[in-house]
Amino acid sequence: MALTALLGGSVLAERSGDDPRVLALHGWGRTRADWAPVLQGTPALAVDLPGFGASPEPPAAWGSREYAELLAPLLADGGWTVLGHSFGGRVAVQLAAGWPESVERVVLTGVPLLRRTSSGKAPVGFRAAKWLHAKGLLSDERMEAERRKRGSADYRAAHGVMRDTLVRLVNEDYRALLPDVKAPVAMVWGAHDTAAPLAMAKEAVTLFPSASLAVSESSGHLLDDALVGLLREALR
């Protein structure tokens, strides 16, 4: 399917059907292609979020709110279902809370909605490296090596503005925002999701005004066949 340039070329998307009413937002490090089995036969816009797939990077380090502000004009005619996985679900929540007149339903899977409690200070060695780097006593290259040694796989893979974007995103918490999502929310979760644990999802579902939670006992974080089936049911 051909790509369509939207919003002045800042977003590339696959469009299916004559009157799409589903906006599909992928996870970090993923692309619109993840949604193909979920959206089969459904009129939809599956976008590559800025910085992923065919879409250019954002002009600065963005949080989920800035991504939502970019996408909101796509939903201006109302009646939309916003479907989000992981990072895309962060943006979906911002759209639903900030533009309630545009969003009719929300479907979320594997979204880190509530920030995990910090386990404490960074290791002494890393704090010492940061101090030395700030004083000009440790090179940029050595400091980067320290960051990469301790960062997640996503952090190590990201560079420049996308790394700064990732840092912003992982520090976001939506506890205060979830009550502002007035549209019905269908949460579809893998019981073995370690990026967005089921225990967190069970707490988050109580914070939305109207939400349900369906669990695949065999699934993890990524969209496998079981999650795809549950997501297709949620979109009906």
Q: What is the pTM of this model?
A: 0.86
The DSSP symbol for 87 reads H
Query: Mapping DSSP to helix (H, G, I), strand (E, B) and coil, where does residue 64 land?
Result: helix
Domain ranges of the chain: 3-115+172-235, 124-161
Phi, psi of 21 (to 5 degrees): -135, 15
Phi, psi of 185 (to 5 degrees): -120, 125
Residues in Cβ contact with 93 at an 8 Å cutoff, skipping those fewer than 6 apart: 64, 84, 106, 108, 111, 113, 174, 177, 178, 181
How are beta strands 11-16 and 3-6 bridged, if at all? antiparallel
Q: Give the burial class of 18: count Cβ atoms within 10 A of its Cβ; 0-12 exposed, 13-18 middle, 19 or more buried.
A: exposed
Q: Per-residue confidence of the chain (236 residues) as pLDDT tens digits? A: 679 999 999 999 999 998 999 999 999 999 999 999 999 999 999 999 999 999 999 999 999 999 999 999 999 999 999 999 999 999 999 999 999 999 999 999 999 999 975 444 556 665 665 666 576 766 866 656 655 555 578 888 888 999 999 999 999 999 999 999 999 999 999 999 999 999 999 999 999 999 999 999 999 999 999 999 999 999 99
Q: Provide the pLDDT for residue 186.
A: 98
Q: Which CATH superfamily is domain 3-115+172-235 in?
A: Alpha/Beta hydrolase fold, catalytic domain (3.40.50.1820)
Q: Which residues partner with 189 through β-bridges?
A: 215
Query: Mapping DSSP to helix (H, G, I), strand (E, B) and coil, where does residue 74 land?
Result: helix
Residues 113 and 200: beta-carbon distance below 8 Å: yes
Structure tokens at 145: 């090596």
Which ranges of the chain would DSSP assign to H, the alpha helix?
A: 36-39, 64-71, 87-98, 124-134, 140-150, 153-157, 160-170, 198-204, 225-235
